[in-house]
Structure 1
């Protein structure tokens, strides 16, 4: 029988069950990134029109956020593993408010892109903090965190990711596109206040910050090499031409140096020996990358087409995606307590393929009800994939590095989003027309089939089940 531990933390928490007072800051912190991702889906066209920028340039508003977040998530996750989530959560969420103010006052596209970079770094702590708190509660209680908590976290992210376009449309109709940046100020203020009120002062992996030199434990050279490798990779994905041939060379060189450094470091930023021996976790990262190529192509590419190619307003473009919101939430709630992870992934892959096939049937003269139908079908994989991938990482990762492992999951997801942004820019060029949308749908369909195959061949998923 598993012993139930009731050792109180420094904040006086005790008891055999998960401390549900932690849920509000966990959920609010984790949604800061998806809310800024999804709101921007309907803001790209109005921003482009206001600033005279084509779709190929406004795509950087998407890429800037994901470039910063893909780099920052594992770094901040490692800091959380060492120091606990409270201080990183408070610092990062404060940056979100600062970025919101800069975005409201931005005079041109360049400053807007800088604001999105700052937003990316500011939203880095939310998700790794939540995963670290889940793990620390599991250690405190002697039990795995209940499936309902993991489901609540996934549902919060799904809700915001899908309701975001509708919220963005409402904000734009009331206050213009600058309102999509202004909304970050009250969100950041609420997150900081909740963090100060509810987050324990000492909650993490148990590593005391006193041991060893901080710089050595942070592995700053490893972080620098990782940053150089990732920035070069994402810049190439955004502009994959022969004249950027030097970027893949930088990726390979920095990657090789990173591997050598991490294998020799006493306290590596990413423990490649442990990670290399954890094939199931590596497979989860790979499938996350592919799944998010499809998801973000739909979020940005399809939404841009409904505005430019089909002629909807930003509000109505967001409204057309409401069925995806309803379906995703319902699917997450219903499937959240089911133990099978593999079944969720396979059904999510099938849903992506079906939705991509439906996109290929759409034209500028299609019946308007076809748009919410496609969104409704996309709601199935939207509700299943994020929940299943999150559960995979929680149970496959080294408990002492669960925050950095969760950050790496987001990094792979954002590499997928950058690939999606590149595919969208290449498909649309200067205008999001129907032929470009069909070209994008074929790319999405290919990624969806690959995602299905990755889940079919991974037999380790059959042994992975969430707790009841």
Structure 2
């Protein structure tokens, strides 16, 4: 007869492997978002492009992810989380094989879009599986996922720096395969089988998908035009499309973006807004600093990668501590500390000068790494305080769409500031913008209520 204590141990081991399977898949999107940042100068040289041109490689990945996350979240609810997760891994495999063979810059953008769509499947599908299978200490489980997903983005520039230094930019895509293989094997063995579903593709609001894509792309064109000055007609076109999209989705019984839900649940909507702001700051730093270090501080790719380890290292150290704190006290205290350190870290960027030492820059960036550890996990757990388990797929997809709305805005900010020339003055301008955004984040955190830990019964605001 099996001792009773063996069963919990076995269940614990299975839960750990299940989390690992999801984590290895979810890291692919943020990791590939930021790994390429250190390779941008090399890609500019390879394809003979300016920084403003190469920024399309970043922006299109964000755009595809922003659209792909809610689609894959909806599909995971309709067709099964395991199916969608495995489909995403297959698409990432295909794109990672083909991207290094790109004959031109347009082809590389196309393969990156496929990669973005595929990697968008893992977070909403994986979060649905985690919330369904793990019922106790979810904040700690989410903390592990945060290390692999949000914090992996912080490791991206460091990994990219080493890969470019010892190989070349194609190695950034080949680096995905160990994670793909491990995640695929574990998911195939451990994920529960999907139940048979009667819903078909009629459950998707394809017109809403197209409308949303066009609207986001128009906003992207508007923000990227900042480097050449303010364009009124692009602003008006983006605003009009947004209004029409809102009214269009409001009339839908099964909308792509549930705007009625966002209107009704104010707290959820404000969490999405705050997560957009978090990612404007984070990705402005993750893409702006590596280019600044190489162009102004004259560091090579390897040195840049080492300096950028400050953000990743402190983020990894802080995240599990934040998970335990959130389990005890809820999300708000951790978010308060995270937003305060954002303001402090961005203001400390003003101390960096043309010939600042690598150690001084490392210490400044470490403050932002601390903020990243608190903010990413705090935002995830805050969301699930206001979302039922049945809504996890679509809510997670919209959450990640918020991330990529923030990254789109960050790429637009960098294109406006660094599009023609990268200087310390431009870095300081970016720091002031990010500090103001940090103040807005702090205001939203102070406004956030402390709901019950049940999540499903939390007040909507």
Does the TM-score normalized on the shorter chain lie above 0.5?
A: yes
Report the CA distance between 1:465 and its aligned residue: 5.2
CA distance in 2 between partners of 1:209 and 1:454 (Å): 39
More off after superposition, 37-46 vs 260-269: 260-269
The DSSP-based 3-state class of the residue aligned with 1:369 is: helix
Q: Which residue of 2 aligns with 1:373?
A: 363
The DSSP-based 3-state class of the residue aligned with 1:415 is: helix
> Which of 188, 191, 209 matches 2:197?
209
Q: CA RMSD in A?
A: 2.4
> Which of 281, 285, 307 matches 1:294?
281
> Which of 241, 264, 271 matches 2:251?
264
Q: Which residue of 2 aligns with 1:102?
A: 98
In the alignment, structure 1 residue 336 sits paired with structure 2 residue 323: yes
Report the CA distance between 1:452 and its aligned residue: 1.4
Unpaired segments of 5 or more residues in structure 2? 1-9, 456-461
Question: 1:133-212 counterparts in 2 under 5 A?
Answer: 133-137=129-133, 143=135, 146-202=138-194, 209-211=197-199
In the alignment, structure 1 residue 394 sits paired with structure 2 residue 350: no
Report the CA distance between 1:245 and its aligned residue: 4.7
Q: Which residue of 2 aligns with 1:221?
A: 207
The DSSP-based 3-state class of the residue aligned with 2:100 is: helix
In the alignment, structure 1 residue 416 sits paired with structure 2 residue 406: yes
Report the CA distance between 1:459 and its aligned residue: 4.0
Report the CA distance between 1:242 and its aligned residue: 6.9
Report the CA distance between 1:417 and its aligned residue: 0.9
Structure 2-normalised TM-score?
A: 0.89
Sort the Cα spacing of 1:459 and 1:188 in 2 relative to 1 into closer, same or farther, 3 A. Answer: closer
CA distance in 1 between partners of 2:357 and 2:91 (Å): 43
Sort the Cα spacing of 1:18 and 1:219 in 2 relative to 1 into closer, same or farther, 3 A. Answer: farther
The DSSP-based 3-state class of the residue aligned with 1:61 is: helix
Unpaired segments of 5 or more residues in structure 1? 1-13
CA contact (8 A) 2:97 2:173 kept: yes
Report the CA distance between 1:401 and its aligned residue: 2.0
CA distance in 2 between partners of 1:291 and 1:465 (Å): 23
CA distance in 1 between partners of 2:342 and 2:104 (Å): 37
Report the CA distance between 1:176 and its aligned residue: 1.0
CA distance in 2 between partners of 1:48 and 1:15 (Å): 50
Q: Which residue of 2 aligns with 1:4?
A: none
CA distance in 2 between partners of 1:162 and 1:223 (Å): 30
More off after superposition, 285-294 vs 176-185: 176-185
Over residues 60-89 of structure 1, what are the superposed CA-to-partner deviations in whole Å (9 max), with x where a residue is unaligned?
121121110011101111111112211111
Q: Which residue of 2 aligns with 1:67?
A: 63
Sort the Cα spacing of 1:245 and 1:121 in 2 relative to 1 into closer, same or farther, 3 A. Answer: farther
The DSSP-based 3-state class of the residue aligned with 1:321 is: helix
In the alignment, structure 1 residue 233 sits paired with structure 2 residue 219: yes
Sort the Cα spacing of 1:57 and 1:464 in 2 relative to 1 into closer, same or farther, 3 A. Answer: farther
Sort the Cα spacing of 1:466 and 1:354 in 2 relative to 1 into closer, same or farther, 3 A. Answer: farther
Sort the Cα spacing of 1:63 and 1:459 in 2 relative to 1 into closer, same or farther, 3 A. Answer: closer
CA contact (8 A) 1:229 1:255 kept: yes
Report the CA distance between 1:281 and its aligned residue: 0.4
CA distance in 1 between partners of 2:11 and 2:434 (Å): 47
More off after superposition, 425-434 vs 187-196: 187-196
Report the CA distance between 1:18 and its aligned residue: 8.0
Sort the Cα spacing of 1:163 and 1:292 in 2 relative to 1 into closer, same or farther, 3 A. Answer: same
Report the CA distance between 1:265 and its aligned residue: 2.6
Report the CA distance between 1:181 and its aligned residue: 1.9
CA distance in 2 between partners of 1:321 and 1:306 (Å): 10
Report the CA distance between 1:353 and its aligned residue: 1.1
Report the CA distance between 1:300 and its aligned residue: 0.5
Q: Which residue of 2 aligns with 1:32?
A: 28
CA contact (8 A) 2:151 2:373 kept: no
Sort the Cα spacing of 1:243 and 1:191 in 2 relative to 1 into closer, same or farther, 3 A. Answer: same
Report the CA distance between 1:307 and its aligned residue: 1.0
Structure 1-normalised TM-score?
A: 0.88
CA distance in 2 between partners of 1:405 and 1:435 (Å): 39
Q: Which residue of 2 aligns with 1:76?
A: 72
Over residues 157-185 of structure 1, what are the superposed CA-to-partner deviations in whole Å (9 max), with x where a residue is unaligned?
24422222221111112211121122234
- Alignment coverage as a number of residue pairs: 442
Sort the Cα spacing of 1:270 and 1:398 in 2 relative to 1 into closer, same or farther, 3 A. Answer: farther
In the alignment, structure 1 residue 463 sits paired with structure 2 residue 459: no
> Which of 293, 305, 315 matches 1:306?
293
Q: Which residue of 2 aligns with 1:7?
A: none
Report the CA distance between 1:411 and its aligned residue: 1.0
CA contact (8 A) 2:132 2:389 kept: no
